[in-house]
Each structure stands twice: as structure tokens, then as C-alpha cells.
Amino acid sequence: NNLTSGDDRFGYYETIAGGAGAGPTWEGRSGVHTHCTNTRITDPEILERRYPVLLRRFGLRKGSGGNGKHKGGDGVIREIEPLRPLVMSILSERRALQPYGLNGGEPGMTGKNLLVKKDGVVLNIGSKRSGSLNVGESLVIETPGGGGYGKATE
């Protein structure tokens, strides 16, 4: 879940958290960076102060983690609206294939990358895309949840 944005005056790069998978003795963590060390997302107040964007939504994607004896962690939802025309590029995974569960645990939900147009039309832009984002539009990133572990009845 990598997002870049910018124009001829600035460039910005961020990694966006998702849900971690569960294991034999633990629940998956929600809204964390997995397999990505020394990384932290920019605080909303700093993002909006330094860059020409509004952060419309940022929170956990409830129910996106897979069920199981130990539940997978939930992903996040992040909606960004530009204050001037920008180029935004998304590079992400698990948009077509669900994060798998283990030993009978259920998979987590796939992620989605959505472009919300000025007229309210919502377009699924897939896992990898670069293009213009105009004033009045927004990019909604829904990151995948982690897979569950073990059967829920165990």
C-alpha cells in the first residue's frame, strides 16, 4: 500500500497500514505496517499543514480481518482530497486475491482503491495506477485485512 502524490512544486510518499494475520496463539493486529520496518504514516495534522490535501477519512476498516479461533487484524480506510490538481500513484497488493487464513482460518478481505469523481461516480482503479486527481475528487484506499487462524469453533 504505497501512495505518491505531487505536482511541479512538491512530492509526497507514504506507506499505508493494513491488517496483520493471526497465528496459533495471537490475534492479528489492526492498522499496522507488516513486512515494512522503520515506517510510520504521517500524522493527519502534519499532512494537511504541509501538503495541499484534505484527509477526509482515516480509520480502521471494521470487519476486514478474517475470522478464526484467532481473528486477523483489520485494514484501514484512508480518503484523500486534493486542494489543487495533483498526480497520485498507488502501488498495492491483495486487491484481487484475499490474504489467506491458516489452519482453517478464514481469509481477510481484499483491498480496494476507489476514485470518487465530482459527480459522485465511484471507479475501482485497481491495484496499480497513476493519474490526475482534481479538486472535488477523492481517492479512497481500503487496505486488506489479515487472515484468521484456526477454525472459529475450536
CB-side neighbour CA atoms (13 Å) of 53: 29
* Longest CA span, the chain: 56
- Give pLDDT tens digits for 45-97: 999 999 999 999 999 999 999 999 999 999 999 999 999 999 999 999 999 99
pLDDT digits (tens, 9 = 90+) for 2-31: 999 999 999 999 999 999 999 999 999 999
User: What would the grid cell of residue 109 be?
Assistant: 478481505
